[in-house]
Amino acid sequence: MSTNTLRERSAIPVEYTWDTESVYTDIAAWEAAMNEVRSRIPQASAYQGRLHEGPTVLADCLDYATKLYRDAVRIYMYAALEYNVDSDSQAAAARSGRGQSLLSETAAALAFIDAELMQIGFATLHAWVTREPRLADYAHYIRKLEDRSDHVRSAEVEELLGQVNDPFGTASGIHGVLVNADLTFEPARTQEDDPIEIGQSTYQTLIISPDREVRRTAWNHYADAHMAYKNTMAACLLTGVKQNVFTARARRYDSALDAALAPNQIPPEVFYNLIETYRKHLPTWHRYWRVRAKAMGLETLREYDLKAPLTEQPHIPYEQAVEWIAQGMAPLGETYVETLRRGCQEERWVDIYPNKGKRTGAFSWGGPGTHPFIMMSYTDDLYSLSTLAHELGHSLHSYLSWENQPLVNTDYSLFAAEVASNFNQAMVRDYLFKLNDDRDFQIAVIEEAMANFHRYFFIMPTLARFELAIHEQVERGDAFNADGLIEQMADLLAEGYGDGVTMDRARSGTMWMQFSSHLYSNFYVYQYATGIAGANALAQQVLTDDADAAERYLNFLRAGGSLYPLDALELAGIDLRTPAAVEAAFDVLAGLVDRLESLVA
């Protein structure tokens, strides 16, 4: 496939796209489903003010609410899937907006439930759970509500907070439209001065090009396009942070960080341990920059050299990637592997290749009643293979959760999710190291691993520090502007680069603009780093002679949202309440640097 020109969405063969027809056969069916769900929303009033009547009424209400919300999510998901792969389509954008509004309308209509449950009292609720079999599925939901009961407001306030979900998505939405639809990029250039189109779905491929001029111009022009909208993006981000602070205060949390951690029973020490351990091990990154510079014959790296190939990258078609991923995941058993194969090869879980208007990045999505959907931009290399393995980790986590948990317990936290995705990458990477001992192949696998660690164990902790700083600014009553944000970002990166990377501070500081979805989700990014730490610890258990490790890990996936994430991971065999797993992941990172140094010596 050519990297010089992006194809229109309509030019992508259907077999390489995901089958959203399995959700709704067409737009008309989606419209009908939306009307049907909207007609069910008023039925919530039949339960409002009545939950105290007894366990039967409560079970009826909770069953109604979970199914209604599931169907509203499905409607939004269908529209958002279409928009994510064709953000130039105004019709797709409009449907996505309508779906999001319906979801917010649904949440507002159901907002009375938690407040009324608290009025009943938790001793009574626990007793009802034992009396009414249908309430057994809601036992963990009630426990979670009890744990956060100090932060649930009256029914009127909860309804209002539910209603603001839709307008509160506006800042993030504007940022997303800017970066995915409105940004225009000056083409990258080859050494021969040939132009190469830059798109959100192809940028990552360009910055791993063996042609340094392609990397340099792609990196510069990508940053410059964001810089042109720096003031708008800063205003959006300030609005998003203010919304986080408002919501935290409305729910009587001490801070936005506390509001992000407390609902999942994650102690603040988990966040701060990550940051402190990351800073402690920055010399490992500094050593890596030196090894990479030496291998490239450079005195010092530029930021567009951080993912430059040190050897020829192997060509890996999508079908080969699926096969190697399946082999790497074999220790989890035949059922896991066959489900993975079926999703990739028969059921069209994956929207595979790049096209014009396709948003940046990759994700896995879905819900009970659908199969998982994976969006990515596959480019026939190890990086794409790794991304596919990562998203399949999410997808199989969801699949097993939906298969084993009642509807109310199928959603799991990002904290747990990023363990499952990075676990797959660690397992497949181990398989690839054993598959081929050719020096160039080994270096290529290390490069992919380091690129993954760079994103999750360098960029994400850096963004987490940035996120903490800007939330604390707003909580003190201070504001921020684009130039200040660029300086803050550049300072944090400079600490991570040490003397091994020569910076272009103005362009480096645009990094916060390039993570349009991440920084609008309150303290989201640190969980990528804890996820890769937990994943590597669990993979080591499965890959050693621990006979029960694979089944423990599968039980973690099957648990879905039925346990708090730290408890679910403890079930799998690790404790992320301490920095031990983060320390162990840095040991893995240091081992990769050692291995690379010996290979390129």
Please tell me the distance from the alpha carbon of residue 450 to that of residue 153, in angstroms, as a whole number: 46
DSSP 560: T
Please tell me the distance from the alpha carbon of residue 565 to that of residue 469, in angstroms, as a whole number: 26
Instruction: Give alpha helix (H) positions in 41-151.
Output: 55-85, 90-109, 112-120, 122-131, 139-147
Please tell me the distance from the alpha carbon of residue 134 to that of residue 156, in angstroms, as a whole number: 28
Element (H, E) at 365: strand 363-365
Q: Are 360 and 375 in contact (CB under 8 A)?
A: no
**Inter-CA distances, 329 with 203, 268, 502, Å:** 29, 33, 39
Q: Which residues pair with 302 in a beta bridge?
A: 502
Computed from CA positions of residues 475, 478, 480, 484, in that sequence, does the dihedral angle turn out positive or negative? Answer: negative
Closest CA to 307 of 68, 588, 554, 501: 501
Please tell me the distance from the alpha carbon of residue 202 to that of residue 196, in angstroms, as a whole number: 10
Beta-strand relationship, 195-196 and 188-189? antiparallel
Q: Name the residue type at position 463.
A: L
How open is the CA angle 70-75-76, to the nearest 5 degrees?
Answer: 100
Nearest 10 degrees: Cα torsion 65, 67, 73, 74: -160
Closest CA to 407 of 171, 142, 67: 67
Instruction: Give alpha helix (H) positions in 355-510.
Output: 382-404, 414-435, 439-454, 460-475, 482-497, 505-508
Residue 391 annotated among the catalytic residues of the structure:
yes
- DSSP characters over 86-105: -TT-HHHHHHHHHHHHHHHH
Q: Are 488 and 466 in contact (CB under 8 A)?
A: yes
Please tell me the distance from the alpha carbon of residue 79 to that of residue 27, in angstroms, as a whole number: 9
Q: Are 376 and 384 in contact (CB under 8 A)?
A: yes
Q: How many residues does the chain have?
A: 601
Beta-strand relationship, 363-365 and 373-375? antiparallel
Please tell me the distance from the alpha carbon of residue 447 to that of residue 435, in angstroms, as a whole number: 16
User: What 3-state class would DSSP assign to 441?
Assistant: helix
Closest CA to 372 of 382, 381, 362: 362
Catalytic-role residue among 82, 159, 391, 467: 391
Q: What is the CA radius of gyration of the chain?
A: 24
User: What are the tokens at 261?
Assistant: 């951690």
Residues 6+ apart with CB under 8 A from 356: 6, 7, 8, 9, 88, 199
Q: What residues act catalytically?
A: 391
